[in-house]
Structure 1
Amino acid sequence: MGIDPKDESELFNKGLGIRRDVLGAAHVERSLSAADDFTAPVQRLVTEYCWGEIWGRSGLPRETRSIINLAMLSALNRPHEVRLHVRGALNNGVSRETIQEIILQVAIYCGVPAALDSMKVCTEVFREMDEEATASN
Structure 2
Amino acid sequence: MDASESGRRILSELMGPDYVEKKDKNRNAFNEAIQQYSEEVCFGRIWARDGIDRKTRSVINIAMLTALNRPAQLSHHIEGALTNGCTVDELKEILLQTAVYCGLPAAGEAFRVAEEVLRTRGLLD
Same fold (TM over 0.5): yes
Partner of residue 21 from structure 1, selected from 13, 18, 33? 13
TM-score, reference length from structure 2: 0.95
C-alpha deviation, 1:105, in angstroms: 0.5
1:61 partnered with 2:53: yes
**Structure 1 stretches of 4+ moved >3 Å:** none
User: Radius of gyration: which is bigger?
Assistant: 1
Segments of structure 2 that go 5 or more residues without pairing to the other structure are: none
Q: Deviations over 1:51-91 (max 9, x none)?
A: 00000000010000000000000111100011001110000
Structure 2 residue 63 is matched with structure 1 residue 71: yes
Give 1:82's aligned residue: 74
**RMSD over aligned Cα, in angstroms?**
1.2
Pair 1:12 & 2:4 matched: yes
1:116 equivalenced with 2:108 (yes/no): yes
Structure 2 residue 63 is matched with structure 1 residue 35: no
Match of 2:121, SS state, is helix
Consecutive unaligned residues of structure 1, counting only runs of 5 or more, are 1-8, 132-137
- Deviation per CA, 1:15-74, whole angstroms, max 9, x where unpaired? 100011011110111112210000011000000000000000000100000000000001
What is the match of residue 98 of structure 1? 90
CA distance in 1, matches of 2:21, 2:52: 26
> Quick one: percent identity of the two aligned structures?
40
Compute the TM-score of the two structures, normalised by the length of structure 1.
0.87
Find the aligned partners of 2:69 and 2:15 in 1 and give their Cα distance: 19
